[in-house]
Amino acid sequence: MQLIRAAGGVITRDGASGETELLVVHRPRYDDWTLPKGKAEKGESDEACALREVEEETSLVCDLNGDVAVTEYEDSAGRPKRVRYFAMIPRDGSVAAARNEVDEVRWVTRETALELLSYGRDSAVVDAAFGLASR
C-alpha cells in the first residue's frame, strides 16, 4: 500500500502573559483538535508542504524553525501515513484565522494543548517541540 506523506507545523508565539503559546486547530469533519497539517502534493518537499498546509488552514505565513518530530500511523482508510512536523514562527503581521477544513483556531499554552488535543501522537509532537525549545 502506498505511503501517504504529509507535513505540518507546531506554530508558537510569545503569549500576553509571557508564556509560550501554540496554535491548535479544530476540524469539524472529524470533530477533533489537532495540529495543522496536510498531505504533500506530488514532487513537493516536506518543508514546502508544511508551510502551504499551515497557511491554507490557519492563514498564517510562517518561517521554519527546524524539525520537531515524525509520526507514523494508519489513516481512517487503513493506509500508512507519515507526518513530518516543523517548528514554525508566524511572520510579523500574519494573523491566524480558520480556513478550508478548519472551523476554529486557538492559541493555547502547552498544558492546555495537551488537554485539548484529540490524539496522543499530537501530544507527543507538542512535548517534542517544547523539549527542543528548552535545550
In eight-state DSSP terms, residue 52 is: H
Task: Over range 70-95, report the average pLDDT.
Answer: 94
State whether CATH 3.40.640.10 applies to domain 4-133: no
Summarised one tens digit per residue, pLDDT across range 13-47 is: 998 889 999 999 999 999 999 999 999 999 999 99
| CB-based contacts of 129, cutoff 8 Å, min separation 6 | 10, 12, 22, 68, 69, 85, 87
134 confidence band (pLDDT: 50, 70, 90): very low
Q: What is the pTM of this model?
A: 0.92
Burial 78-98 (b: 16+ CB within 10 A, else e): eeebebbbbbbbbeeebebeb
User: Is the pLDDT higher at 135 or at 28?
Assistant: 28
CB 62 within 8 A of CB 17: no
User: Residue 37 and residue 10: Cα distance in Å, rounded?
Assistant: 9
Ranges of each domain in the chain: 4-133
Residues linked to residue 110 through DSSP beta bridges, in sequence order: none
Question: What per-residue confidence (pLDDT) applies to 135?
Answer: 37
